[in-house]
Amino acid sequence: MKKKILISVVGPTGIGKTSLAIKLAQHFKTEVLSADSRQFYKEMSIGTAVPTLDELNAVPHHFIQHKSILDDYSVGDFERDAMDQLELLFKKKDVVLLVGGSGLYIDAVLKGLDEFPNIDPRVRQDLNKKLEAEGLEALQKQLKELDKVQYKKMDVDNPHRLIRALEVCIGTGKPYSSFLSNTKKSRPFASIIFGLMADREIVYDRINQRVDQMIENGLLEEVNTLKEYRGLNALQTVGYKELFNYIDGGYTLDFAISEIKKNTRRFAKRQGTWFRKNEHIHWINYNSPTNNVIAKVEQQIKDL
Local confidence pLDDT in tens for the 304 residues of the chain: 468 999 999 999 999 999 999 999 999 999 999 999 999 999 999 999 999 999 999 999 999 999 999 998 989 999 999 999 999 999 999 999 999 999 999 999 999 988 878 889 899 889 988 988 898 899 999 999 999 999 988 878 888 889 989 999 999 999 998 887 666 789 999 999 999 999 999 999 999 999 999 999 999 999 999 999 998 889 989 999 999 999 999 999 999 999 999 999 999 998 998 899 899 999 999 999 999 999 999 999 999 8
With DSSP H G I counted as helix, E B as strand and the rest as coil, what are the percentages for the chain, rounded to 5? 55, 10, 35
Structural domains of the chain, with CATH: 5-113+182-303 (3.40.50.300), 121-179 (1.10.20.140)
Which residues, other chains included, contact 92 with Cβ-Cβ below 8 Å and sequence gap of 6+? none
Of 125, 123, 129, 112, the closest CA to residue 146 belongs to 123
Query: CA torsion angle for 181, 272, 189, 31 (degrees, to 10)?
Result: 140
Contact 189/5 with Cβ under 8 angstroms? yes
Tell me the whole-structure pTM to 2 decimals: 0.87
Confidence at residue 156, expressed as pLDDT on a 0 to 100 scale: 84
Q: What is the pLDDT of residue 1?
A: 47
- Residue 127's nearest CA partner among 175, 174, 159 is 159
- What are the residues whose beta carbons fall under 8 Å from the beta carbon of 226, sequence distance 6 or more? 43, 44, 69, 235, 240
C-alpha 49/C-alpha 38 separation (Å) is 9
pLDDT number for residue 99: 98
